């Protein structure tokens, strides 16, 4: 039982301010010698509860944690609140709707509502993506502190996936600053060629970022109706935020839905 407790104590060392840690930091925090710590790290890494960065040698939470978060996500209060709005957004637009959260320098899908179209974008609940590529990932990054940004950049870098992937730190800083100002992000073929997404932030009652709501599909369809789909995504993100108790200072974006309903309905596929 003591070994189990030690393993859980080790996992609990990771938090918003310590998303990656070295063996020296973990040893100091747990007050255990490195020889003992390495045994725990080997087991937790083997079971994918932790992963070791190949260059920095620091430890991060691993894929097993992401899978558990996905399972727990179905019971999380904010996911339960968001789901009916996600269902309605998908129904209105006939595109896939995704809810993501930030975990350990990764964007993790905790809920999805898939389009019923034959050609659609799909993503597995519990899967994770890097923060610099894709609308929902970058929206999560946009609301982090400068300290978080610099540490994330050091630990993860910005690898290229397509010709549209943002790989320059200064360009990324400008992009996320713009995202905060305009309240949405559009990504086009940043992770996968031909895939497009629109994301907007969801806030807790405290005013802090809760998650990112995104609409995703083939770029041909989303490009044709981009303006109305941006409005729809922003409106439903605002509705979820309001349902969570958030009170925006600059008016209520949900009022926009009155003028958007007809435009949104026009994006539906004619069978």
CA distance linking residue 64 with residue 103, whole number of Å = 12
Domain shared by 33 and 126, yes or no? no
Map 37-82 to HEC letters. HHHHHHHHHHCCCEEECCCCCCEEECHHHHHHHHHHHCCCHHHHHH
121 located within any domain: yes
225 vs 122 pLDDT, higher one: 225
**pLDDT exceeds cutoff 70 at 107:** yes
pLDDT category of residue 30 using cuts at 50, 70 and 90: confident
With beta carbons less than 8 A apart as the criterion, state whether 158 and 167 touch. Answer: yes
Residues 135 and 71 in one domain: yes
Q: Are residues 80 and 10 in the same domain?
A: no
Q: Containing domain of residue 156, as a range?
A: 65-265
Which CATH number characterizes residue 152's domain? 3.30.450.40
Closest to 102 measured CA to CA, from 72, 143, 41, 52: 143
Q: Is 48 in the same domain as 128? A: no
Last residue of a domain, one of 60, 77, 110: 60
How far, in whole angstroms, is CA 109 from its chain's centroid? 6
Evaluate whether residue 271 is within a structural domain: no
Joined together, the tokens standing for residue 172 give 């990324």
Q: How far is CA 132 from CA 44, 139, 166, in A?
A: 27, 9, 7
pLDDT in tens, 52-100: 887 788 888 887 776 676 555 454 678 888 999 999 999 999 999 999 9
Whole-number Å distance between alpha carbons of 8 and 156: 25
């Amino acid at each position: 039982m003591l070994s189990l407790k030690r393993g859980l104590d080790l996992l609990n060392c990771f938090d918003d301010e310590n998303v990656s840690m070295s063996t020296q930091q973990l040893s100091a925090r747990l007050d255990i010698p490195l020889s003992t710590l390495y045994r725990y790290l080997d087991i937790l890494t083997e079971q994918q509860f932790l992963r070791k960065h190949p260059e920095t040698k620091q430890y991060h939470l691993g894929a097993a944690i992401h899978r558990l978060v996905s399972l727990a996500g179905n019971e999380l209060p904010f996911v339960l609140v968001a789901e009916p709005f996600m269902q309605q957004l998908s129904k209105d637009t006939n595109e896939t709707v995704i809810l993501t959260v930030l975990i350990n320098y990764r964007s993790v899908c905790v809920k999805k509502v898939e389009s019923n179209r034959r050609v659609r974008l799909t993503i597995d609940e519990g899967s994770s993506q890097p923060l610099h590529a894709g609308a929902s990932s970058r929206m999560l990054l946009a609301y982090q502190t400068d300290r978080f940004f610099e540490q994330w950049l050091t630990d993860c870098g910005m690898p290229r996936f397509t010709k549209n992937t943002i790989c320059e730190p200064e360009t990324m800083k400008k992009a996320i600053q713009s995202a905060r100002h305009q309240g949405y992000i559009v990504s086009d073929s940043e992770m996968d060629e031909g895939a497009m997404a629109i994301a907007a932030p969801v806030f807790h009652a405290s005013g802090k970022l809760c998650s990112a709501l995104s609409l995703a599909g083939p770029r041909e369809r989303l490009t044709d109706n981009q303006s109305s789909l941006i409005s729809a995504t922003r409106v439903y993100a605002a509705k979820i935020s309001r349902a969570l108790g958030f009170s925006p200072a600059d008016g209520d974006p949900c009022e926009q839905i009155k003028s958007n309903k007809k435009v949104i309905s026009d994006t539906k596929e004619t069978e």
